Amino acid sequence: MSRRVVITGAGTVNPLASTLDAFASSLLEGKCGVRALTVIDPSGLPVRIGGEVRDFDARQYLDKKDRKSLKLMVRTHQLAVAAARLARDHAGLSVDAIDPERFGTSLGSGTVSADLADLGPASRASFDFHTGRVCFDKWGRDGLSLIPPMWMLNHVPNMAACHVAIVNDCRGPNNTITLTDESGLSALGEAYRIVRRGRADAMLAGGAETRINPISLARNVKFGHLVAANDDPARACRPFDRDRTGIALGEGSTVLVLESLDHANRRGARPLAEVCAFGCGMDVGCKGAGLARVIRDTLNKAGIRATELDHVNANAGGWVDHDAWEARALREAIGDVPVVAYKGALSNLGSAAGPTELIASVLALQIGRLAATLNCDKIAADCPVNVVRAPRPVTKPFVLKISGTDRGQCAAILVRRWKD
């Protein structure tokens, strides 16, 4: 477990941008990717806003020989393949630069919601309009045959990692993490551990998900905590703010190339940052003590104090209870260290959230300037943290990114600005 692990490339496709430069500048300029939805018709739903990736065409990210596989990929998988291609190109990791047996994949993935066009005809054929219920006799006789034969394969969560591995000839470890909003950060942590213990020389790691889907939106309207600011979408997500009322759903993918330092040196790659530690755990009841313990454990693994952090990149996105839980843990673990939260600009990208927000901090370490938290006008009394509300210089080398779920699973990853 003595190998050093560095980030040598990154690719992102998110509601703000599809290049790293545009992403960094959009955050610094205070732009917002939460808008009225256009990729679906949300007119029948009470929530009609979200963070969508507009003008996305997966073909531009694939070689001609690989484009035929797009018919086997739903949008989540296409986003993942696009971000992985951008990451590999950014890292300069050509086909002959790595042994494919030592090249792996670790991706976070969530619920891959079905397209209504796939399920609608079968549902209609199976529904008994007299009783208002699904008739299983009709389902077996008439409905089942109307389901597209590739439907199930397209909606298994691990298919994003499978497609990324096939396109990039990754024959090493291949893992999928499914922990809702915490999936992407844990996938990075798993990739870090794999490279550190010598099972691979490099990993394509990150997360992908789209929640801009009628079924996802309807489910979250019913059971989630969505904000219905249809008339002012740019102000919808309000991390740690006194007037926060809920989250907005989004979509995207961010993939990083995690590589052992010795392998990166052998091929002449210059790292973006070094991954110093990863920790994860459970905060039972979301009281704050468990997340605080994970944060302290991660800092202890790297042998640093909280005062050495430039900032903590939080998970907050305007969910009233969740933001307060996270804030309590941050106050206990890091005191007055500055905190940023980027869901106000990005929305909640699900499994892609952690890696996308992390790369925002990595870019800040590189350019020396940190973007502000959008829409936090007045810090809530139940969120006692030092929120960064205006762009400021980066003055310290370490950044901690945290993530968590509404069930209490939580993770933290520590990165350091690269210096030769």
pLDDT tens for each residue of 347-369: 999 999 999 999 999 999 999 99
pLDDT in tens, 212-238: 988 888 888 888 789 989 999 999 999
pLDDT in tens, 226-273: 998 999 999 999 999 999 999 999 999 999 999 999 999 999 999 999
Element (H, E) at 350: none
Superfamily of structural domain 276-417: Thiolase/Chalcone synthase (3.40.47.10)
Measure Cα distances from 374 to 10, 240, 309, 314 in Å: 23, 10, 21, 13
Pairing of strands 202-210, 103-108: parallel
Pairing of strands 103-108, 127-128: unpaired
Pairing of strands 133-134, 49-51: unpaired
pLDDT at 1 over 80: no
Residue 399: what residue type? V
pLDDT of residue 220: 86
pLDDT in tens, 126-181: 999 889 999 999 999 999 999 988 888 888 999 999 999 999 999 999 999 999 99
Q: Do domains 5-114+157-266 and 276-417 have the same CATH topology?
A: yes
pLDDT of residue 272: 98
pLDDT of residue 148: 87
User: CATH 3.40.47.10: does it fit domain 5-114+157-266?
Assistant: yes
Domain boundaries, the chain: 5-114+157-266, 276-417
End-to-end CA distance of the chain: 22
Find out whether 361 and 303 touch, Cβ atoms under 8 Å. no
pLDDT in tens, 190-213: 999 999 999 999 999 999 999 998
pTM (2 decimals)? 0.96
Position of tokens 């801009």?
Answer: 212
Residue 65, CA atoms < 13 Å, CB-side half-sphere: 3
